[in-house]
Amino acid sequence: MGTVIRCEHLTKRFGRTTAVDDLTFDVHPGRVTGFLGPNGAGKSTTIRAVLGLDTPDAGRALVGGVAYRDLQQPLRHIGALLDAGAVHRGHTARAHLSALAAAAHIRRDRIDQVLALVGLTDVATRRTGTLSLGMKQRLGIATALLGDPPLLILDEPVNGLDPEGIRWIRTLMRTLAAEGRTVLVSSHLMSEMALTADHLLVIGRGRLLADVAMADFVPPGTSLEDAYLDLTATAVDYRTQPSQGTRP
Amino acid sequence: MPTALSGAVASEIVKLRSLRSTWLTAAFAMAFGLALSIADVSHIASSWPRMAAADRAQFDPVGDSLSGFSFAVLAFGVLGVLAVSSEYTTGLIRFTLLATPRRGVAYTAKTLVVGSFALLLGQLAAFGSFFIGQAFLAKQHLQVSLTDPGVFRAVFCAGLYLFAVTMVGYGLGAVLRHTAGAIASLFALVYLGYGAAKAVEGWSYLPSKLMLSNAADTLAQIQPHPPRPERVPSLTFALLDLALYLTLAGVLGAWRFTRDA
Ligand SMILES: Nc1ncnc2c1ncn2[C@@H]1O[C@H](COP(=O)(O)OP(=O)(O)OP(=O)(O)O)[C@@H](O)[C@H]1O
Ligand SMILES: [Mg+2]
């Protein structure tokens, strides 16, 4: 069982929008790979295709050499945090994890372990509809870690986390990569990425703009933010207007 | 042996069991059906001595003891809708498919679990309502026993009907992926369908015979007295109706479920 995430000429369209356009890359183990790109660039779509949730229109995505849908007990191979809270409001945090553990034949004591790991032990029996944004995010991280997988894909994991949580997830990702696992993480927070990622994949309008080591992407004396904004300057779809102030 | 299907089934059981809405809808469906049925039979029992012969001829000791479920059946359908539509409206479906990426396996597991629960609940409602109803009718010695001709068949078929409508709701929920839309379609199918089929009776009685509620009249009574006997299918036809609806719901649901969420 390999630990490489591979996309080969991956293409996904929604009606007339081409969300992912002939994307080819490998994500390697032992390092944190940052997945960057402007809003609507196709990061979440790529991730959903890797996870077998979206069927590509062309090309393919492989997890350890196999299509996700052909994995036996996929949760033990790859853990995922999706960009929006995808839990049933009516389920308790524990029920949510129990349902997934049951599907993957994961031992029940692992549920308490991951709840403790993300700091949710005290709210385990609360319905997820009553959890705060950061608590839901922690539940999502607990879900990703449930099967103790060698591969992890995290779509905007720091969303809603408090400073303690942000430091914790950063340390967690670095530790997981140091253990030889494959970690792919998308984020818009450049300062956070600069601290976390060893390698970068940058996409814009569904196409690959860069597949580069962090050290080569950010020349000494500049910031990741500068390098990123330079690279993506021509690939931004949803650009804001310069601030005009409120008075003429 | 741990397989993808056994894991998916276990997972579906956890999901169905841990939702408050499952138990609330089930309790509501049962309570509503039982209350109306009891009101019906207790009224019959108390007014029996003064009842006109024509009204007495309309009496059906089985059908009347289950009459409340001709309305409560919609709550069963809603239960079926929610069992699948809520996964789409909350986004939970993505985790379901992450855990069980083969859509056919995930759908089979869900259908088995929801179907078994619906069958159990339907039979519990039918037999429960029957026995309670007979206790009320016994005051006027109007009761029948399960071993009397046609009685067991009628009670069992009433449970099957509740099961079938639950699964029609389930199929609609899977096809539409939207709770309100699926509930509206379910009501339309059961009530508007009945009216529409009635409207074309000048040309053909076939649409009426295909209606679930008309099938239920045949299935759940021992001596049906419909105002228009032509409208009501034979017992075999009514059972085929249920099979047809179950198949359509299962197949259309499977077709849609295996498409991207
Ligand atoms: N289910 C869908 N139906 C239609 N269009 C979609 C769907 N999902 C994504 N898209 C479109 O595909 C494109 C890529 O979206 P995607 O969510 O992958 O971007 P992203 O890189 O994750 O953006 P963000 O940084 O804002 O999360 C966008 O134009 C989006 O509108
Ligand atoms: Mg996204």
What per-residue confidence (pLDDT) applies to B89?
87
Q: Is the pLDDT of residue A193 over 70?
A: yes
What per-residue confidence (pLDDT) applies to B193?
84
Q: How far is A179 from chain B (nearest CA, A)?
A: 24
User: Which are the contacts of B243, defined by CB distance < 8 A and separation ≥ 6?
Assistant: none
- Best of A18, A23, A45, A201 for a ligand 1 pocket test (most atoms within 8 Å of beta carbon): A45
What separation in Å is there between the alpha carbon of B250 and the centre of ligand 1? 32
Could you tell me if A103 lies within 8 Å of chain B, comparing CB atoms?
A: yes
Atom 9 of ligand 1, residue of closest alpha carbon: A45
Please name the residue of chain B whose CA is at the shortest distance from the CA of residue A147: B99
Q: How far is B173 from chain A (nearest CA, A)?
A: 16
What per-residue confidence (pLDDT) applies to A36?
96
What separation in Å is there between the alpha carbon of B239 and the centre of ligand 1? 47
What per-residue confidence (pLDDT) applies to A144?
95
Interface A–B counts its CB contacts (< 8 A) at 90
Confidence band, pLDDT 50/70/90 cuts, at residue A85: low
User: Which are the contacts of B210, defined by CB distance < 8 A and separation ≥ 6?
Assistant: B197, B233, B241, B244
The residue type at B186: L
**Separation of alpha carbons B38 and A40, rounded Å:** 59
What per-residue confidence (pLDDT) applies to A224?
94
Q: In the numeric block, which tokens belong to residue B200?
A: 């074309």
Cα-Cα-Cα-Cα torsion B3, A27, A57, B85, nearest 10 degrees, comes to: 50
CB within 8 Å: B19 and A88: yes
CB contacts, 8 Å: A87 with chain B: 90-92, 95
Confidence band, pLDDT 50/70/90 cuts, at residue A52: very high
Read off φ and ψ for residue A205, nearest 5 degrees: 50, 40
Could you tell me if B21 lies within 8 Å of chain A, comparing CB atoms?
A: yes
**Separation of alpha carbons A168 and A158, rounded Å:** 10
Q: Is the pLDDT of residue A62 over 60?
A: yes
Confidence band, pLDDT 50/70/90 cuts, at residue A219: confident
Give pLDDT tens digits for B5-48: 999 999 999 999 988 888 999 999 999 999 999 999 999 989 88
CB contacts, 8 Å: B83 with chain A: none
Angle B13-A63-A104 from CA coordinates, rounded to 5°: 20
Give percent of chain A with pLDDT exceeding 70. Answer: 93
Point out the least confidently predicted range of A10-14, A233-237, B36-40. Answer: A233-237
User: Which are the contacts of A196, defined by CB distance < 8 A and separation ≥ 6?
Assistant: A32, A34, A170, A173, A174, A185, A187
Read off φ and ψ for residue A243, nearest 5 degrees: -60, 130
**Separation of alpha carbons B188 and B201, rounded Å:** 18
Query: Which residues in chain B show pLDDT less than 70?
Result: 1-2, 224-228
What per-residue confidence (pLDDT) applies to A156?
92
What per-residue confidence (pLDDT) applies to B180?
95
**Separation of alpha carbons A108 and A100, rounded Å:** 10
- Please say whether the beta carbons of A32 and A181 come within 8 A: no
Atom 4 of ligand 1, residue of closest alpha carbon: A14
Give pLDDT tens digits for A99-148: 999 999 999 999 999 999 999 999 999 988 888 888 888 999 999 999 99
Could you tell me if A68 lies within 8 Å of chain B, comparing CB atoms?
A: yes
CB contacts, 8 Å: A98 with chain B: 14, 18
CB within 8 Å: B7 and A102: yes
List the single residue in B12, B19, B101 with the smallest CB-CB distance to A74.
B101
Describe the strand order of the beta sheet including A207-213 as a list of residue ranges: A78-81, A151-155, A182-186, A32-36, A199-204, A207-213
CB contacts, 8 Å: A90 with chain B: 18-21, 86
**Separation of alpha carbons B106 and B113, rounded Å:** 11
Give pLDDT tens digits for A137-191: 899 999 999 999 999 999 999 888 899 889 999 999 999 999 999 999 999 999 9
Could you tell me if A75 lies within 8 Å of chain B, comparing CB atoms?
A: yes
Give how far the C-alpha of residue A56 lies from the chain's centroid of Cα atoms, to the nearest Å. Answer: 19
Atom 8 of ligand 1, residue of closest alpha carbon: A45
What per-residue confidence (pLDDT) applies to A1?
52
What separation in Å is there between the alpha carbon of B171 and the centre of ligand 2? 31
What separation in Å is there between the alpha carbon of A56 and the centre of ligand 2? 17
Mean pLDDT, chain A, whole residue set: 90
Atom 16 of ligand 1, residue of closest alpha carbon: A42
Residues within 8 A of B (CB atoms), A 130-159 only: 143
Describe the strand order of the beta sheet including A17-27 as a list of residue ranges: A17-27, A5-14, A58-63
Segment A214-230 shows an average pLDDT of 90
Strands (DSSP E) along chain A, which ranges? Answer: 5-14, 17-27, 32-36, 58-63, 78-81, 151-155, 182-186, 199-204, 207-213
Domain boundaries, chain A: 5-86+153-232
Read off φ and ψ for residue B42, nearest 5 degrees: -70, -30
Q: Which CATH number fits domain A5-86+153-232: 3.20.20.70, 3.30.390.10, 3.40.50.300, 3.40.50.10310?
A: 3.40.50.300
